[in-house]
Structure 1
Amino acid sequence: MSIEDKKNALVDELMPFEDHFERFAYIIDRAKSQPPLADEYKIDAFLIEGCLSRLWVYPEFKDGKCYFHTDSDAAITKGTSTLLCSLYSDERPEDIIALEPDFLAEVGVTQHLSPNRRNGLTNVRTRIKSYAELCLKNAETQ
């Protein structure tokens, strides 16, 4: 499945919820099904700044693709970061760099987040994109 297909599948998943409370309940439930991040990765190097809650994103690069794992001490924060990490995981760096998560506004997620949570989500995207850029640069120099 391409990154564009994954994005469209997420839109199809989230669009039916007309009430933003139901949408966030679904996002939280979806995040609960994800395994927690191992304590060894809950360190400052993987901590996302700009969020009141503690939010970590652990990146990996293997076989030419990036993978992202996340965890947070706040359910909504973990849920929204899980959306981004699942979208961008198992993708090539150039595809990650090219696709912005604008669809989150389309389905009514970002406009119902507090400014701090929106800032945290933006910082997750920035971290993911920066990691993909680093992987692409390293691949080009080899």
Structure 2
Amino acid sequence: MTLSEKRNQIIAELEPLADHHERFQYIIDRAKNAPGLPSELKLDQFLIEGCTSNLWLIPSLEDGVCRFRCDADSLITKGIAYLVCEFYDGASPSEVANTDADFLAEVGVTQHLSPNRRNGLTNLVGKIRAFGRVALSR
């Protein structure tokens, strides 16, 4: 599935929800069901800076596609990060490097985040896209 198709799928899941409260409940429910990271991988080198809660991102390149695993100690942060990681996971380095995760703003999620959470989201997407650029040069 291309990133464009994934984007459309996520929007189709979130758009019908009546308001931002329902969207955040959906995100929290996703976080509760999302796989976490084992404690031995929750290292400072994987922390995303600028977030109020701890958010870890572990990127990898496997068989020519980017893989992303994440975890956080807040359900909202974990849910949003999981949506973003799920969006980029399995994409080519070129797609990752050149595609923004603007779907969260389009469905009204970003606008209801605190400034610190928005900053953390921006930093998460920035790290993911930077990994795509590095993977392109391999």
> In which range does the TM-score fall when normalised by the shorter chain?
over 0.9
Q: CA deviation at 1:31?
A: 1.7
CA shift digits 1:105-139 (9 cap, x unpaired): 1101100000000000000001101111111112x
Q: CA deviation at 1:83?
A: 0.9
What secondary structure does 2:137 align onto?
helix
Q: Which runs of 4+ in 1 moved over 4 A?
A: none
Q: CA deviation at 1:100?
A: 0.8
Question: Structure 2: how far apart are the matches of 1:56 and 1:23?
Answer: 23
Q: CA deviation at 1:18?
A: 2.0
Q: CA deviation at 1:52?
A: 1.3
What secondary structure does 1:37 align onto?
coil
Which residue in the other structure is 2:107 paired with? Answer: 107
Residue 68 of structure 2 contacts residue 86 of structure 2 at CA under 8 Å; is this kept in 1?
A: yes
Aligned pairs (5 A) from 1:53-72: 53-72=53-72
What secondary structure does 2:59 align onto?
strand
Which residue in the other structure is 1:42 paired with? Answer: 42
Which residue in the other structure is 2:17 paired with? Answer: 17
Which residue in the other structure is 1:27 paired with? Answer: 27
Aligned pairs (5 A) from 1:58-97: 58-97=58-97
Q: Which runs of 5+ in 2 are unaligned?
A: none
Q: CA deviation at 1:99?
A: 1.2
Give the share of equivalent positions with the same residue, in percent.
51
Which residue in the other structure is 1:132 paired with? Answer: 132
Q: CA deviation at 1:35?
A: 1.1
CA shift digits 1:77-121 (9 cap, x unpaired): 001111110000011010111211111111011000000000000
Root mean square deviation, CA, Å: 0.8
Question: Structure 2: how far apart are the matches of 1:77 and 1:119?
Answer: 11
TM-score by length of 1: 0.94
Question: Structure 2: how far apart are the matches of 1:24 and 1:94?
Answer: 30
TM-score by length of 2: 0.97
Residue 97 of structure 2 contacts residue 131 of structure 2 at CA under 8 Å; is this kept in 1?
A: no
Which residue in the other structure is 1:4 paired with? Answer: 4
Q: Which runs of 5+ in 1 are unaligned?
A: none
Question: Structure 2: how far apart are the matches of 1:32 and 1:89?
Answer: 19
Q: CA deviation at 1:75?
A: 0.7
